[in-house]
Structure 1
Amino acid sequence: MSAATATASPSRSSTAPGIRNWGAAGTYAVLALVALVGFALGSPAKSARFRISNDGDALFVPDIVLGTTPVGWIASLALLGLAGYAVYLTARAERLPRWLAPVFAAVFVAGFLVWVIGSAENPNVYFSGLIAGSFTLAIPLIFGSLSGVLCERAGIVNIAIEGQLLSGAFCAALVGSITQNVYAGVLAAVAGSIAVSVVLAVFSIKYLVNQVIVGVVLNVLVVGLTSFLFSTVMQSDSARFNSPPSFAPVRIPLLADIPIFGPIFFDQTILGYAMYAAVLVVWFGLFKTRWGLRVRAVGEHPKAADTVGIRVNSIRFSNVVLAGVVAGIGGAFFTLVTSSSFNKEMTAGQGFIALAALIFGRWNPIGAFFAALLFGFSLNLSFVLTILGTPVPSQFMQMLPYLVTIFAVAGLAGKSRPPAASGVPYVKE
């Protein structure tokens, strides 16, 4: 098992020693210059007010007022320093440290937030609500990225996350409406997502069809099928077939009143609490159990795993089905929490953003969790800034989540190494 263990260990760097990968360093440099021109030189010379707590909260925290000019210069100089460090390491063909991307992203987001809110007509934002809303929007992304982690760690590329989420959302709405039971809706969502997973597994593992093509076809199939059923079934009698009940938040007294952290951790629906549990369970299972070692061995070196008696294709099949369970819960969140009905293509490409979070998080459940939070934050920020009346065009605000996705995956993530056998079918000789 030693060979499998060695190959299953995750990559420790974004760039292998001796190889100059200028993509990440170039992205850092460009974003640092953008910050210098926008946040510092282009500062509106105003103040941004961040409200942390409300008057009725058990713990009151005063508002934080930050000047756009000093914050802009501090953030810009810090970003220039980080970018220069990345360029220096790349020129020496050295590895970029793992902390560089999250620190750079945090500083850039902080500078952008102060600049854009200070430029708004109403430079006042409820920061606790902004963060709590970001977590809420990130929940289906996190479930989707965990689905991708389970598949790709076993060697199966899961492009069908979008289809899994959409299928789960549709089944949850339909069955939840008929039964008027949220738990029946969740079970239906899991069943619908598993159906997509089974098709992916059969064609990818048994018939050796290209996994990317199967995933793309499944996404198109689910979009077409759910749109057809929505038009012919749900719209004909929406009160009966498209009016599911919703999960009510489960509020923990006192703890839920803690500013910022209270609404995030102690005022969630059951599916919200299940998301935190799912991240921890998947991480522990993959990296702290014998099952996880076998899964990672299959994803890295299936032939070596087969040699020591691991049933490669059985593990791959079961992992794809398990990924369907996780994605199904994420799909149920759309119709049983976020909205009280199903709409055509309501996932709006979030399955692909979940796939990006998986890559940005380096195929690690914890990394994918924080990457999904970044994308959820950008999505919520686009809504908030549109309401505040910022000078940034509304079209740009709508593009913000996808621009963050592109920069994060193509630039900040650097050179990421997926599991070695990901996307490669295994045929036992």
Structure 2
Amino acid sequence: MDSVELILASAVRLAVPLAFAALGEWIAERAGTLNISVEGMMLGGAFTAVAGAGLTGSASAGLLFGVAAGLLVAFVHACFSHRLSVNTYVVGLTLNVLVLGLTSFLLLKTESRQVDKLTIPLLSDIPVIGPALFDQRWPAYLLAALVPAAWWLVRRSRWGLEARAAGENPQSADVTGIDVNKRRRQALMLCGALAGLGGAYLAVAEVGTFNQNMTAGRGYMVIAAVIFGGWTLRGTLAGVLVFGAADAMRLALPALGYTLNPQFLVASPYILALIAMTFFATTRRGPAALGRPFVRGIT
């Protein structure tokens, strides 16, 4: 495998857990919720996936445990933000710190378990892109179904129309009979399931075990990817690939013999995410009511 194939394969591999979570974050933000707790959802999903894999003896079953953990974090966030009207940013940051503390305190020593790799014949032999796209751990291929499903749900279904109305003009949506906070809670739950799956994939597909704070800010990269993509699905996925490539360069360049400052390599994906958020947040318009709480009768 030459250097280009190596970097591309690493970029795709590192982008997969981000892509799962980014799908959910995109849905949540289109409904008007800037979900800061996506980091906690991913970290909780990673921890619970490893615990579930150890309990059941199956790494595949661990993925379901990870989804359940993401849903739990989303449920707590939704109750506080969209039932009790607590500031969603405060709730999100609090949940991130809480999950980090709990997973660090309950840190488990388990044997390494990973889901199986699935190589697709013929397609994996395509030069350059074949190994990167068609020689992955099997849960990665779920994205082939989840991406069009998420697009259809948000852009073509009645639920998606109501969720987008909740994100653009919640007062008008409420007048037409849409339960704004219910749609936002539902979008947040979808985000929790997908972010939990992303964290679980990181743990039981990529690493095989759980390490303290193993998501290391990937949840914030996901938020940056949605902003980078201008709140469109294709743009969000492009942002995920860009951040995955930046992370891949950090790992691949030393392996290829290039000597660069190691601290800069570690920081480079986060620097890129910061630049993306700074630039694209001011040049592209997100949902008009993004991050604004909805209380009936108050404009």
TM-score (norm: length of structure 2): 0.95
1:274 aligns with 2:142: yes
1:354 aligns with 2:222: yes
- Report which structure shows greater RCO (CA 8 Å, sep ≥6): 2
Alignment partners' CA distance in 2, 1:413 and 1:228? 36
Q: Name 2:26's counterpart in structure 1.
A: 149
Q: Name 1:310's counterpart in structure 2.
A: 178
Q: Name 2:100's counterpart in structure 1.
A: 223
* 1:170 aligned to which of 43, 47, 67: 47
User: By how many angstroms is 1:219 displaced?
Assistant: 0.3
Q: Structure 1 residues 293 and 415, CA, compared in 2 at 3 Å: closer, same or farther?
A: same
User: By how many angstroms is 1:225 displaced?
Assistant: 0.4
User: By how many angstroms is 1:298 displaced?
Assistant: 0.8
User: By how many angstroms is 1:244 displaced?
Assistant: 5.1
1:128 aligns with 2:5: yes
Alignment partners' CA distance in 1, 2:282 and 2:30? 20
1:332 aligns with 2:209: no
Q: Structure 1 residues 161 and 250, CA, compared in 2 at 3 Å: closer, same or farther?
A: same
Alignment partners' CA distance in 2, 1:143 and 1:374? 15
Aligned length in residues: 297
- Bigger Rg over Cα: 1
1:255 aligns with 2:123: yes
Q: Name 1:62's counterpart in structure 2.
A: none
* 2:167 aligned to which of 299, 310, 315: 299
* Residue deviations 1:167-207 (CA, integer Å, cap 9, x gap): 00000000101111123211110111111001110000111
* Residue deviations 1:274-299 (CA, integer Å, cap 9, x gap): 12322221122211222211110111
Secondary structure in 2 aligned to 1:422?
coil
Alignment partners' CA distance in 1, 2:230 and 2:39? 19
TM-score (norm: length of structure 1): 0.67
Q: How does 1:69-88 map to 2 (within 5 A)?
A: none
* Residue deviations 1:93-150 (CA, integer Å, cap 9, x gap): xxxxxxxxxxxxxxxxxxxxxxxxxxxxxxxx52112101101101111122222111
Query: Is the Cα–Cα contact under 8 Å of residues 196 and 324 in structure 1 kept in the other structure?
Result: yes
Alignment partners' CA distance in 2, 1:220 and 1:203? 16
Give the aligned residue type for 2:23: L
Q: Report percent identity of matched pairs.
A: 40
Secondary structure in 1 aligned to 2:106?
helix
Alignment partners' CA distance in 2, 1:137 and 1:173? 18
Q: CA RMSD in A?
A: 1.5
Q: Name 2:68's counterpart in structure 1.
A: 191
Query: Is the Cα–Cα contact under 8 Å of residues 163 and 222 in structure 1 kept in the other structure?
Result: yes
Alignment partners' CA distance in 2, 1:400 and 1:423? 28
User: By how many angstroms is 1:256 displaced?
Assistant: 0.8
Alignment partners' CA distance in 2, 1:328 and 1:399? 24
Alignment partners' CA distance in 2, 1:341 and 1:132? 21
1:286 aligns with 2:154: yes
What runs of 5+ residues in structure 2 fail to find an aligned partner? none
Alignment partners' CA distance in 1, 2:244 and 2:269? 8
Query: Is the Cα–Cα contact under 8 Å of residues 167 and 226 in structure 1 kept in the other structure?
Result: yes
Q: Which runs of 4 or more aligned residues in structure 1 lie more than 4 Å from their structure 2 counterparts after TM superposition?
A: none
Alignment partners' CA distance in 1, 2:234 and 2:131? 21
Secondary structure in 1 aligned to 2:92?
helix
Alignment partners' CA distance in 1, 2:266 and 2:93? 24
